[in-house]
């Protein structure tokens, strides 16, 4: 399969429904049942404030159609949260996830974080490990004893850039 041609750009509020759909379809791709998907729907939505403050980016094709989305949110002075990273199922394994992950690290750096924390879907744990994140535990979800693998990725310092609004 040929590599996807895509670029990254900040998300727009008018495309939130499209981005939420990508998140939902990407999660459902792993075979979760309808009850589980209904229970997580609100947790995998793009947040309007994050768009407004430039913390949501999308991968888009040449026609500007969204292919994947990433959202990073501040946790504290030293840490940021990889809130969302989803790629539309039909665009998996084309380098989009890697590009969005790299963007997440850059966003975390702009927030002043030295660590990016990730609560991973079990199906994505291998991806985050391959990107250099270190597994630091598991987080209970409250859904039938399900645990989410938790990762940490260090954020290297670089020359100062304009900070993102927290």
Contact (CB, 8 A) for 118 and 104? no
CA distance 61 to 90: 13
pLDDT at 157: 66
Residue 76 in this model has a pLDDT that exceeds 70: yes
The CATH code belonging to domain 7-154 is 3.40.630.30
> 110 and 103 in contact (C-beta within 8 Å)?
no
Which residue is associated with the tokens 């459902």? 28
Using the structure block, give the residue that is written with the tokens 């994140």.
133
- Match 């100062």 to its residue by tokens: 160
The whole-angstrom separation of Cα 19 and Cα 1 is 24
**Cα–Cα distance, 73 to 53 (Å, whole number):** 10
Q: What is the pLDDT of residues 21-71, one digit of tens each?
A: 999 999 989 888 898 888 888 888 999 999 999 999 999 999 999 999 999
Task: Give 103: exposed, middle or buried? Use CB within 10 Å, 0-12, 13-18, 19+.
Answer: middle
Summarised one tens digit per residue, pLDDT across range 88-119 is 999 989 899 999 999 999 999 999 999 999 99
The band of 141, judged by pLDDT with boundaries at 50, 70 and 90, is: confident
Q: Give the whole-number percent of the chain exceeding pLDDT 90.
A: 70
pTM for the model stands at 0.87
Tell which wins on pLDDT, 3 or 105: 105
Residue 28: alpha-carbon gap to chain centroid: 16
Mean pLDDT (the chain, rounded): 90
> CB–CB of 44/59 below 8 Å?
no
């Amino acid at each position: 399969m040929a590599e996807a041609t895509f670029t990254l750009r900040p998300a727009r509020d008018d495309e939130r429904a499209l981005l939420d759909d990508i998140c939902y379809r990407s999660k459902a791709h792993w075979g979760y049942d309808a009850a589980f998907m209904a229970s997580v729907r609100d947790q995998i939505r793009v947040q309007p404030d994050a768009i407004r403050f430039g913390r949501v980016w999308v991968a888009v094709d040449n026609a500007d159609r969204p292919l994947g989305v990433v959202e990073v949110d501040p946790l504290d002075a030293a840490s940021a949260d990889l809130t969302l990273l989803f790629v539309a199922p039909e665009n998996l394994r084309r380098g989009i996830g890697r590009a969005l992950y790299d963007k997440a690290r850059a966003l975390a750096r702009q927030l002043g974080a030295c660590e990016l924390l990730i609560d991973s879907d079990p199906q994505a744990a291998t991806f985050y490990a391959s990107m250099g994140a270190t597994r630091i535990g598991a987080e209970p979800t409250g859904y039938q004893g399900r645990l989410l693998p938790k990762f940490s990725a260090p954020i290297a310092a670089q020359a100062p850039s304009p900070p993102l609004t927290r």
